[in-house]
Amino acid sequence: MIRVTQTRDRDNEHFDQPTLEIGDPLVAALRLAQMELAYGARVTEASETRIVVKTRVFACVDTSVFEGTEEEMEPLVELVYFYLKAETEHGKEILDHAVSTAMSLPGGVGRKPFYLSMLTPLLLGGNKLKVALMLACGLRDEEQLKAGLQARLEDLVAAVQLQRDGLCSFQEALEL
């Protein structure tokens, strides 16, 4: 059972959130991916049995602690490893895509400092998560990584699954 403890700090106030217990490690990894890393969470602690992430959204700082046995935490530790690897090895591509996305937003929103400061963690986090997912699935080709960055996260997950199951190539899956 993986235990997820969450707190929120906002305007000098501290709020404890209800503790969650998740029986399936893959469900816990998905929660870590979609609810934290996709929003630009910063990994502040990682061990075989505990992962701590901090996510800033507007004036709130959310801290989430994922704890379990080594066996239970293995998918989460692997996800965090590839998330950090994506940042260090593919930072330029991730940043380039985030800037391109911001600049293409309607009405020039991505060029306004106020909006850009709010969007940047989300764009970077989502892009790091996409690259991490592709690296974890053994994709290393630069063209595949670029194509994957263009896809929505949901579409990327489906493409990776189709490719891993041998039903079609990664590129073909992205084109579906």
How many C-alpha atoms does 164 have within 13 Å on its Cβ side?
13
Q: What is the mean pLDDT of residues 45-62?
A: 93
Q: What is the mean pLDDT of residues 68-84?
A: 93
Q: What is the pLDDT of residues 137-176, one digit of tens each?
A: 778 888 888 888 888 888 887 887 788 788 988 888 888 7
Most confident of 65-69, 73-77, 137-141: 65-69
CA distances in angstroms from 164 to 134, 136, 155, listed in the order given: 11, 11, 14
Mean pLDDT over each residue of the chain, to the nearest integer: 87
Q: Where are the domains of the chain?
A: 2-73, 84-175
Instruction: Check if the beta carbon of residue 46 is closer than 8 Å to that of residue 82.
Output: no
**What is 2-73's CATH number, 3.40.1710, 3.40.1840, 2.60.40, 3.40.30?**
3.40.1840
Q: What percent of the chain has pLDDT over 70?
A: 100
pTM, entire model: 0.77
Q: Which of 8-12, 45-49, 74-78, 126-130 has the lowest mean pLDDT?
A: 126-130
pLDDT at residue 123, rounded to an integer: 80
Residue ranges of alpha helices (H) inside the chain are: 25-35, 70-89, 91-103, 113-136, 142-150, 153-164, 170-175
